Amino acid sequence: MVDGYDANYEVLASVEAITDFLDMLPKEINMTKIMPPYVFKYDGGEKPEDWGVSGFVIIAESHISIHTFPEKNYFSIDIFSCNEFDMDRAIEIIKDYFGTDRLEIRTTNRGTEFPRDIGIAASITEAQRNRLV
């Protein structure tokens, strides 16, 4: 998870720039894009200053999402992947693309008990089904 501050306003405000970012990033960090990015502009609702651009791209490894708040020069990006990837490369791309070094970066492990082997997953599922009978 990456939160960025003091980012480039023009990039944050541009549906095209965010689309290009989400289109380019998966390949750059060795992920497999399985659909084009979906990106849209949000008007801010009851807080007009909270307008921005949001988008996501589905990758074989999970997804990448972004939300921008141009008036606050802020963005948040989640790179959710079931595979390892070059996090340092992703951070450098983000810094360069959004024109900022002011980032907060957090990582977490998810699905720590998720079986990575299909044979193991099948045996767990079968055992669970047998308990229900």
Q: Respond yes or no: is residue 14 known to be catalytic.
A: no
pLDDT in tens, 46-70: 888 899 999 999 999 899 999 999 9
Out of 14, 63, 65, 67, the active site residue is 67
The one catalytic residue among 54, 65, 81, 82 = 82
Cα(51)–Cα(45) distance, integer angstroms: 8
Tokens of 44: 């801010």
How much is the pTM? 0.82
**pLDDT digits 0-9 by tens, 21-51:** 999 999 999 999 999 999 999 998 888 889 9
Q: What is the pLDDT of residue 123?
A: 65
62 has catalytic annotation: yes
Q: What is the pLDDT of residue 110?
A: 72
pLDDT tens, residue by residue, 82-91:
888 889 999 9
- What domains can be seen in the chain, in order of their start residue? 2-132 (3.60.90.10)
* Residue 82 annotated as catalytic: yes
Residues 6+ apart with CB under 8 A from 12: 52, 53, 68, 69, 70, 73, 74, 75, 98
| Catalytic-role residue among 14, 62, 76, 123 | 62
Indicate the pLDDT class of residue 115, thresholds 50, 70 and 90. low
